Amino acid sequence: MTAMIQNDAEKDWMMPLLDLRNALDFRNNSIDGEEFSDHHLRDFRRLTGSVQLMSGGKPVPGPYTQESRANWLTKLLAAQTYIRRNGPEDVRNLNLISIEELQEIRRIWVMDKHELEDTLPRIYLEATGEPYPGRPLDDNLVLGESEMRELANLCEGDRLHYELTRELLSLTLQQRSSGRRAKLNEKLEKAFARHFYDDKEDALARAQALADERKRRSDEREGRMAIETEDAGPRR
């Protein structure tokens, strides 16, 4: 694909697709000498909020962070816009992502990930130059970016504190909107479990302590089994 685009001036309109492909190739995204990795674009927690360690003590990577997802979507929409404006006639209506898919992404970000900023319409406007054409979300479930910036300022740069407060607000709004309290306590407990760490280093230290404790207990069991096996051996 690279050679085809670089050797044919008439295919310059495909360059954003090449750039997008290269960006998605995690082998091009490594930092700090860590090859073949996109871990720096991902949360240190798994989707459930738990922290798991690999053999080298590094965390098993979780889902892409909010910032990373916003960047991917911006790149995708920008590529689509460029191709529509600069490509040949038969790609002027090209859809790299449909409005239905964007609407589902928006729902997941706001409802499931509790990102009350509702950034997708702004991302769409900035990347395409056009207002977001999707249907609006329930205003009772969204606070908006300006309000969330105020919350972030109150949290004084503590990202985990901000995420916890935001999720608690989101759960409250969802409960009020639906009128149902089913599993609310369970959802609140999971929210605190995901965000109770002081920071990433604290989370990794706790995970390492748990791993060390499990290893200690495993070694003790193996030691007892070895002694029991030796004691049960043939006697003279």
Query: Residue 32: pLDDT above 70?
Result: no
Q: What does the pLDDT look like over 61-107, one tens digit per residue?
A: 999 999 999 999 999 999 999 999 888 888 888 899 999 999 999 99
- The Cα 98–Cα 104 span in angstroms is 10
Query: Residue 234: pLDDT above 70?
Result: no
Query: Residue 186: pLDDT above 70?
Result: yes
- The Cα 90–Cα 191 span in angstroms is 48
Q: According to the model, what pLDDT value does residue 9 have?
A: 59
Average pLDDT of 146-164?
94
| Of residues 236 and 178, more confidently modeled | 178
Q: What does the pLDDT look like over 119-147, one tens digit per residue?
A: 999 999 999 999 999 998 887 778 888 99
Q: According to the model, what pLDDT value does residue 152 have?
A: 94
Query: Residue 176: pLDDT above 70?
Result: yes
Mean pLDDT across the chain: 86
Q: According to the model, what pLDDT value does residue 33 have?
A: 52
Average pLDDT of 155-166?
94
Token digits for 32? Answer: 């700090």
CA distances from 30 to 21, 35, 51, 110, 149 (A): 15, 5, 21, 29, 30
- % of the chain surpassing 90 pLDDT: 44
> 206 with 160: CB under 8 angstroms?
no
Would you call 44 exposed, middle or buried from its count of C-beta atoms within 10 A (0-12, 13-18, 19+)?
buried
Token digits for 135? Answer: 């249907």
Q: What does the pLDDT look like over 192-221, one tens digit per residue?
A: 999 989 888 998 898 889 888 988 888 888
pTM, 2 dp: 0.81
Q: According to the model, what pLDDT value does residue 165 have?
A: 95
| Of residues 92 and 180, more confidently modeled | 92
